[in-house]
Amino acid sequence: MGYLSTVIGHPTDGSPVSGGGLSQNGRFSYGYASSLGKRASMEDFYETRIESVDGQLIGLFGVFDGHGGAKVAEYVKHNLFSHLLRHPKFMSDTKVAIDDSYKSTDSEFLESDSTQNQCGSTASTAVLVGDRLFVANVGDSRAIICRAGNAVPVSKDHKPDQTDERQRIEEAGGFVMWAGTWRVGGVLAVSRAFGDKLLKQYVVVDPEIQVRRKSLTSPWSFSSLQAMGCGMWSLTRRLSI
């Protein structure tokens, strides 16, 4: 069961799409949904993959919320997990592999396309390896674990007005200012992202990675929600999950 294609995830008429699947061994299931909403064009992408590595079934899931265009988000969709699966330490040190793969995917895009200077993308990814769930993110796409009807955040937004993020940006020679919301250089409302070449010195792609272990006595399900493009997280916060 391979990954879903861009065509399936982005119908040409902008209509909503949803679906899901079950892993070959029946140990986990997944679902996805995408809707254009009120926007003129879709800048957001998702990816689901079920792969076998060293005889073990691996689940890879991601949401990539584009800004300034769709090109970066689409590139990350098609390349991030491929880099990760090829990483020599994917099974032995998954956290290092995820960190390296985020950075190499970003560098590869910036080197391959010199015209997309103001295009970028956030990311929220989950990688299931055995009983361990690795959740990584840059920007403000969010991830939650649903347990017993409760939503538990497992990612932290990267916003320019956060004390640690602002300090990092200013130490790198940048600035944060208010322009409707707090923005890096008065432009970008997130402090970490793929792409954004003109701001790359300040807008890093270092992911924060959380590791959760699944217990047989405490099952959970995973859901990744994006907020930046369509306000999905803002809506979900007002609903019972």
Identify whether the C-beta of residue 148 lies closer than 8 Å to the C-beta of residue 140: no
Using the predicted structure, report yes or no on whether residue 16 has a pLDDT greater than 50: yes
Higher per-residue pLDDT: 35 or 8 = 35
Domain limits, the chain = 6-157+207-235
Sign, CA dihedral 168-172-178-180, equals: negative
Cα-atom radius of gyration of the chain, to the nearest Å? Answer: 17
Q: What is the pTM of this model?
A: 0.85
| 172/8 Cα distance (integer angstroms) | 41
Amino acid at the residue 115:
T
Using the predicted structure, report yes or no on whether residue 6 has a pLDDT greater than 80: no
Name the average pLDDT for the chain: 82
| 19/34 Cα distance (integer angstroms) | 9
Q: What is the DSSP letter of 48?
A: E
- Assign domain 6-157+207-235 to a CATH class: alpha beta
**pLDDT value of position 225:** 36
**pLDDT value of position 181:** 95
**Which pLDDT tens digit goes with each residue over 47-106?**
999 999 998 999 999 999 999 999 999 999 999 999 999 999 999 999 999 999 999 999
